[in-house]
Amino acid sequence: MTKRRILIVDDEDDIREVAQISLEVTAGWKVLTASSGCEGLKIASEAKPDAILLDVMMPDLDGPSTFQKLQADPAIRHIPVVLLTAKLQPADQKRFAELGVAGVLAKPFDPLELAGQVRDTLHWLT
């Protein structure tokens, strides 16, 4: 089986870096990163990762908008998206549920568990 490739989209450099190392070290996935929604869409189109880990609060193009753009593109709409967010109010959760993403993971996350959580969310077999 080829290595899983996962794209992390987050405007916080540190979080991106931590998440990347976490996924690389704990799951051995190939991690791509993008620091904005636009960049994320671009990389997703080019590299067609197996999944996208998407932040919600980003300048310019936020997570939900990025997701909607992604859905509008037939070439990449099949890529499952997991939101990774610090927005954890009930109202936010409701909003995310209506979006149709594959799942929502909370920040802060346990770097040792993150890969497992993504895997569980996407029903990937180990």
Partner 1 sequence: MTIVQDIAGQERADEALMEERHLLHTLMDNLPDVIYFKDRESRFTCINKAHARLFGLVDPAHAVGKTDFDFFTTEHAQEAYRDEQEIIRTGQPIVGKEEKETWPDGRATWVSTTKMPVRDANGNIIGTFGVSHDVTERKRAEAALQDSDEKYRVLYESSRDAIMMLAPPDWRFTAGNPAAVALFGARGEREFVAAAPWSLSPEYQPDGELSSVKAPRMIATAMERGSHSFEWTHKKFSGEEFFATVVLTRMIYRGQPLLQATVSDITDRKRAKAEMAERHLLATLVAEVGVALTQAESLRPALQQCAEILVRNIGAAFARVWTVNEKENVLELQASAGLYTHIDGGHARVPLGKFKIGRIAESGEPHLTNSVLTDSWVGDPEWARREGMVAFAGWPLKVEGRVLGVVAAFARQPLTETTLQAFASVADSLAQFIKRKRAEETLRESEEKYRALIETTGTGYVIIDTQGRVIDANPEYVRLAGRRALHEVLGHRIAEWTAQHDLARTAEAVRRCAELGLTRNFEIENVNGDGKCTPIEVNATVVVTAGGVRIVALCRDITERKRAEEELYQSRQMLQTILDTIPQRVFWKDRNLLYLGCNRALAIDAGLKDPAEIIGKNDYELSWGGSAESHCADDKLVMEQETPRLNFDEQLSRPDGSQRWLRTSKLPLRDPEGKVIGVIGTYEDITERKRVKAQLVTHARIDGIFLSVPDNEIYHEILKLVLDEMHSPLGLFGFIDEDGGLEVPSMTREIMRICQMPGKTARFPRETWEESSWARALKERRTIYSNEPSTSTPDGHIHICRHISLPVLFRGEALGLLVVANKETDYTQVDVRALDDIASHVAPILSARLHRQRAEATRDYLASIVEFSGDAIIGKSLEGVIRTWNAGAEKLYGYTASEAVGQPVFLLVPPERRKEVEDFLNCIKRDERIEPHETVRIAKDGGRIEVSVTISPLKNASGEVVGASTVARDITARKRAEQDLSFKTALLEAESETAIDGILVVDKTDHLLLVNRQFARMLDVPEEVIRTKDDKKLIEHALTQLKDPDAFLERVNYLRSHESEKTRDEIEFKDGRVFDRYSSPLQGSMGELYGRIWYFRDITERSELARMKSELVSVVSHELRTPLTSIRGALGLLAAGLLRSQPEKGQRMLEIAVSNTDRLVRLINDILDLERLESGKMNMEKRTCNAADLMTQAADSVRDLADKAGVTLSVSLHSARLLVDPDRIIQALINLISNAIKFSPRGTTIWLSATRQADQIQFQVKDQGRGIPQEKRESIFERFQQVDASDRREKGGTGLGLPITRNIVQQHGGRIWVESTLGQGSTFFFTLPLLPAETILVGDGCGARKLLVCAVEAEVCSAVQAVLNQRGCTVLGSSSWQELIQMASIEPPDAILLDSSLPGMGSSENITELKQKSHIQDVPVIGLGGAAPDEVHLASMGMAGWVTKPVNQNSLLPVLESVLGNVREGPRVLLVEDDIDLARVLTTVFERHGAVVLHVQTGREAVQVCPQFMPDLLVLDVILPELDGFGVVEQLRQHEHLRRLPLAVYSVKELDDSEKARLRLGESIFMTKSRLTPQEFEQRAIGLLNWATSGQRERRRR
Q: If we measure between CA atoms, which residue out of 113, 86, 89 comes closest to residue 26?
A: 113
Q: Which of 27, 41, 58, 115 binds partner 1 (CB under 8 A)?
A: 58
CB of 117 to partner 1, least distance (A): 13
The three-state (H, E, C) secondary structure of 82-126, written as one string: EEEECCCCHHHHHHHHHHCCCEEEECCCCCCCHHHHHHHHHCCCC
Choose between 74 and 108: whose C-beta lies nearer to partner 1: 108
Q: Which of 3, 17, 48, 75 binds partner 1 (CB under 8 A)?
A: 17
The three-state (H, E, C) secondary structure of 63-84, written as one string: HHHHHHHHHHCCCCCCCCEEEE
CB of 102 to partner 1, least distance (A): 20
CB of 36 to partner 1, least distance (A): 8
Using rule CB under 8 A, residue 86 touches partner 1: yes
Q: Which of 80, 103, 111, 116 binds partner 1 (CB under 8 A)?
A: 111
